[in-house]
Structure 1
Amino acid sequence: MASINTNVAAMTALRALTSTNSALTQTQSRISTGMRVNTAADNAAYWSIATTLRSDSSSLSTVQDALGLGAAFVDVAYTAMDEAKNIVSKIKDKLVAAAQPGLDRGKIQTEITELQSQLKGMADAATLQGQNWLSVDSSAAGYNATKKVVSSIARTGGSISVQSISINTGSMKLFDSSAAAKGILDTNRNATTGAVDAAGTFTIAAINISALTDSTADLATLDGYIKGADRAITEMAAGATTLGAAKARIEIQQSFVSSLKNSIESGISQLVDADMNAESTRLQALQVKQQLGIQALSIANSSSQSILSLFR
């Protein structure tokens, strides 16, 4: 039945064209943004997961920065510690030379004093962002010998936690201005063995041999100084080893965080990114379909005009 009130063919063609236009708009959006899930309306579950993963990926970028800063702290401390160890070795060499009877120990002390000044200046200069791990004041409020470097984040269910690498700097400090605790170079040492001793009579930073003679007692004192310098070198080497191990761990963690971040970004891509090859093919098909839909609607609309010929 032909009717001028209801054009069924036109209505059918219009519905098909509307559907095509909607699909075309969606495809064009995917092509322009490169994403098939751009809003929660596209796919609520995938959008929610991707949003959480993006947040974690951003946090991992911050973790990478923190690891880089932590590595810098360790590098500064290690460089100063290693150089200070070399200077103490030179002091030890001077002390060994002074053990030779008949030498002018006052002149040797002049060299030792310069090296001692260099030790203090070097330890004080090993500062980064206001932190110094080698020259400290352990009696200061808020002091903590255990330094932490943010290393990663962990998500358990909906809860997130920050993980860190701990570095104990208590055994590697060279100077400590606190009266209750001292560092490797300003702690009292036993005059005979050179070991750390609260009742000891000398420190590496304050050794003075200018008044020593060739007497048996003075030579024994000098021998104690040599042993003290040797023990200090061993203690500093242990501190440098701790720093080296921390640096290696930080480097491993940097590599892991970088790989983890790449994996998360890859996962986000799998969830929300559009397949551009498929979308371009789909676009071509929809454009043809749209053109055919327009022609079909035009034909359907013109069919009612043929009714006029019946009244001529």
Structure 2
Amino acid sequence: MSFNTNNGAILALDVLRSTTGNRDDTLSRVSSGQRVATAADNAAYWSIATTMRSDNKMLSAVEDALGLAGGIVDSATNGYSAATDVLVEFKKLLVLSREAGVDRDKINTDLNQLKDQLKTIANSSSFAEQNWLKRTDVADDVDRQLVGSFRRDADGGVTVTNITYEIAGTAGTSDVNFLVDDFSGDSGILTGAGFAAELGTSKDWVLFNGENGGAYDEITLTDTTTGAEIEEMISVVDAMAERTIDVATMLGAIGTRIELQTEFTKDLQDSIEFGVGKMVDADLNAESTRLRALQTQEQLGIQALQIANSGTERFLDLLL
């Protein structure tokens, strides 16, 4: 036996040190729930997981933006749907005014109330300071851009795609998308003379003129209004109602696309989270079992070290 060098104790200590290191690593995985918590654990997996987590945060931001976009589009769609209903009532009153003996002044009073209701719809159909029904400045003609999705290409570049709504249309025609144009009048469904021009009516009929633009013939009933003029008014209002339906349909399609994209974004976030989890998450059942085994090995290692050191103790006993 060597008194200066206890080979058995050294070997037992090496085994104990290795077991303790493995135990600490396993305990770390159990505590964090991850088998790849840092780049040192697995550089490739850690890099991919970190990038994907970053993408998931971007997708979360896209989901929030889609929620905002959905609110804006829904507000505009509801506004046009409500305007369509009012225009139907407006047309019914015009049809009624053709009957002999009716009080056109009273009917005109009802028409004015409906006009005020349409103005209220145009003014109040806003969300997050976005109003797609009313034009008050040339700057309102800019295409509306809504966040649609986020993607990362093969080169690692990031792109945010938009859903575009061309709101301006063509002023002076029936191809207009604003409900009311208070700037020039010509870009509004209710304030533009494009419908009357395309129908070839005797006057440039509009439901009402914009506050700061347009000086067209407003649809108004008086005792001198002729039957032919009423027929023209009915035709113009009917064309206006059809255009509001068309615009509401376009907005409804955009709203549906936003809903689908929102659901897809949620599913994509779940898929990314699941994929990252498979790459870096620890199997807690296996790790817990391994930890128990390593703790047992550690206890056995301590006992082995004690046994290796007991030989020296017996030698000292002989000297006493």
Relative to the length of structure 2, the TM-score reads: 0.89
Distance 1:204 1:85, change over 3 A: same
Moved more, 31-40 or 205-214: 205-214
Is the CA contact (8 Å cut-off) linking 1:138 and 1:181 kept in structure 2?
Answer: no
Offset at residue 203 of structure 1 (A): 0.7
Alignment of 1:171-186 (within 5 A): 171-179=176-184, 181-186=186-191
Pairing 1:158–2:163 present: no
Is the CA contact (8 Å cut-off) linking 2:208 and 2:219 kept in structure 1?
Answer: no
Alignment of 1:200-219 (within 5 A): 201-205=204-208, 207-213=218-224, 218-219=226-227
Is the CA contact (8 Å cut-off) linking 1:213 and 1:219 kept in structure 2?
Answer: no
> Deviations for 1:177-224, whole angstroms, at most 9, x for unmatched residues?
2227421011014658647x9x9522123534333436xxx2222111
Distance 1:164 1:242, change over 3 A: same
Distance 1:238 1:190, change over 3 A: closer
Q: Specify the alignment match of 1:146 in structure 2.
A: 143
Offset at residue 281 of structure 1 (A): 1.0
Alignment of 1:1-312 (within 5 A): 2-140=1-139, 143-156=140-153, 157-170=155-168, 171-179=176-184, 181-189=186-194, 194=199, 201-205=204-208, 207-213=218-224, 218-308=226-316, 311=319
Q: Of the two structures, which has the highest relative contact order with CA contacts closer than 8 Å and spacing of 6 or more? A: 1
Is the CA contact (8 Å cut-off) linking 1:172 and 1:240 kept in structure 2?
Answer: no
Q: Distance in 2 between matches of 1:151 and 1:261?
A: 15
Letter in 1 for 2:163: I
Q: Distance in 2 between matches of 1:189 and 1:57?
A: 48
Offset at residue 145 of structure 1 (A): 4.1
Is the CA contact (8 Å cut-off) linking 1:76 and 1:126 kept in structure 2?
Answer: yes
Q: Distance in 1 between matches of 2:109 and 2:254?
A: 37
SS of 2:138's equivalent in the other structure is coil
Letter in 2 for 1:227: S
CA RMSD of superposed structures (Å): 2.0
Q: Distance in 2 between matches of 1:191 and 1:269?
A: 63
Is the CA contact (8 Å cut-off) linking 1:13 and 1:300 kept in structure 2?
Answer: yes
Moved more, 172-181 or 102-111: 172-181
Offset at residue 117 of structure 1 (A): 0.7
Q: Distance in 1 between matches of 2:271 and 2:196?
A: 59
Moved more, 168-177 or 275-284: 168-177
Q: Distance in 1 between matches of 2:303 and 2:40?
A: 32
Distance 1:96 1:308, change over 3 A: same
SS of 2:102's equivalent in the other structure is coil
> Deviations for 1:25-67, whole angstroms, at most 9, x for unmatched residues?
1111111111111111111111111111111111111111111
Uncovered stretches (5+) of structure 2, i.e. residues with no partner? 169-175, 210-217
Residues matched between the structures, number = 304
Q: Distance in 2 between matches of 1:125 and 1:209?
A: 25
Is the CA contact (8 Å cut-off) linking 2:219 and 2:233 kept in structure 1?
Answer: no
Is the CA contact (8 Å cut-off) linking 2:207 and 2:219 kept in structure 1?
Answer: no
Q: Distance in 2 between matches of 1:194 and 1:209?
A: 18
Q: Distance in 2 between matches of 1:163 and 1:189?
A: 34
Q: Distance in 1 between matches of 2:74 and 2:142?
A: 17
SS of 1:205's equivalent in the other structure is coil
SS of 1:185's equivalent in the other structure is coil
Relative to the length of structure 1, the TM-score reads: 0.91
Q: Distance in 2 between matches of 1:97 and 1:180?
A: 28
Uncovered stretches (5+) of structure 1, i.e. residues with no partner? none
